[in-house]
Amino acid sequence: MRDVLAEWQPVVDDAIAELLPRDVDEAYLDEWFGPASHRYDPEAIQRALSDPVWDLLDRGGKRWRAVVCLLLLDGFGADPHEHLAYACIPEVLHNGTIIVDDVEDEAEIRRGETALHHRYGQDVALNAGNAMYFLPLKVVGKNPAGLDSGTQLAMYEMLMDELNRTHLGQGMDIHWHRNREATVSEAEYLEMCACKTGCLGRIVARLPAILTDQPDEVEHAIAKYAEEMSIAFQIGDDILDIESTIEGNTEFGKAFGNDIREGKRTLMAIHALSEADPAEADRLATILHADENTREEIVDAIGILQSTDSIEYARERALEFAGSARAHLREVPLDEERSDQLASFTEFVIDRDV
């Protein structure tokens, strides 16, 4: 699977550069946004929009959302090269959420480097992140595939529905780690994942289904595949944060004990709080509730997660969601090669090392 990702990543980046070029000029602005009412300042747009966005993109990221979209397009009988612009939509949206999330979380590091709001300023970061929510809609409007108006409308409606649900998930996540005494159930955590991460996954799957006019039952099944794979991804991401802290691995690109410092209600934390003896549960809650943590407190919190087998519990739940995602994938009429590749993504999102 890593070979597939490596093959497609530069292709996807070139396609994103059509949507937001590295070098902004008046010709691009006129083409994508229409003639200026008075006069654009390309250099200002370059410095405040293109530069920070490409700073983030050039730090890495495997573009797996775009690649899954392309594989599905191919599996549904469409030429993926002719639909590259559409595959960029979930990738650009994802990176936009990263920029805004980092501001909301007061994150210091993203992909191993200074978070954009610290490097460029909070105003620049928020504007760039918000722009990445709206730029993909230009693809639907410009209609590179020559879609009929009904298909365009279906794409708009799908994107608006899923993006609104994404913000429900983000709202839950923000409330929980800003109000650190909040009680969170496993079901509520999973719903947060289904909204915050799962909705972007559903966009990945629903776009090619709509583009190729698949029946409702096929669109639903492939959306469930992507949603449950995304939940597995989020749980795996939480596990990776803890394991990279245990191993002292800086390649994950986040600060030491990042999720514990932020008081994140991960599945591991929820499980440990319910399974630990009262004294240990109180100790973990105190650490999660604190505005700041020492390294010793982070190590203590991880020790409690380990003593309650919460890391392994979360891994098993991630594997269950990955298995369920594969079951939904089997409901979709795809050729064997594409089906096997898409099934392997459910393993990659859990077993990846960065």
Asked if 166 and 232 sit in the same domain, the reply is yes
Q: Is the pLDDT of residue 266 over 90?
A: yes
Asked if 154 and 138 sit in the same domain, the reply is no
The per-residue pLDDT for 61 is 83
Asked if 208 and 349 sit in the same domain, the reply is yes
**Could you say which of 146, 177, 203 is where a domain stops?**
146
Asked if 202 and 243 sit in the same domain, the reply is yes
Q: Any idea what the CATH number is for the domain that residue 164 is in?
A: 1.10.600.10
Asked if 18 and 30 sit in the same domain, the reply is yes
Kindly indicate the confidence band of residue 89, based on its pLDDT and cuts at 50, 70 and 90.
Answer: very high
Kindly indicate the confidence band of residue 182, based on its pLDDT and cuts at 50, 70 and 90.
Answer: confident
**Could you say which of 146, 173, 201 is where a domain stops?**
146
Kindly indicate the confidence band of residue 353, based on its pLDDT and cuts at 50, 70 and 90.
Answer: low
Burial of 101 (0-12, 13-18, 19+ CB in 10 A): middle
- The parent domain of residue 180 ranges over 148-354
The per-residue pLDDT for 291 is 82
Asked if 281 and 243 sit in the same domain, the reply is yes
Asked if 220 and 205 sit in the same domain, the reply is yes
282 Cβ neighbours under 8 A, 6+ residues apart: none
The per-residue pLDDT for 232 is 95
Kindly indicate the confidence band of residue 106, based on its pLDDT and cuts at 50, 70 and 90.
Answer: confident
Percentage of residues in the chain having pLDDT higher than 70: 96
The per-residue pLDDT for 272 is 96
Q: What is the DSSP string of 247-286?
A: HT--TT-S-TTHHHHTT---HHHHHHHHHS-HHHHHHHHH
Asked if 158 and 142 sit in the same domain, the reply is no
**Could you say which of 146, 163, 181 is where a domain stops?**
146
Which residue has better confidence, 196 or 248?
A: 196
State how many domains the chain has.
2
Asked if 203 and 288 sit in the same domain, the reply is yes
Q: Is the pLDDT of residue 253 over 60?
A: no
- Residue pair 221/331 in contact (Cβ under 8 Å)? The answer is yes
Lowest mean pLDDT among 33-47, 77-91, 165-179, 339-353: 339-353
Asked if 184 and 130 sit in the same domain, the reply is no
Percentage of residues in the chain having pLDDT higher than 90: 79
Asked if 38 and 52 sit in the same domain, the reply is yes
The per-residue pLDDT for 69 is 96
Asked if 139 and 160 sit in the same domain, the reply is no
Residue-wise pLDDT for 2-52, tens only, equals 788 888 899 999 999 999 999 999 999 999 999 999 999 999 999 999 999
What value does the mean pLDDT take over residues 214-218?
97
Tokens of 234: 């989020």
Helix crossing, 122-142 with 2-19: angle to 10°? 90
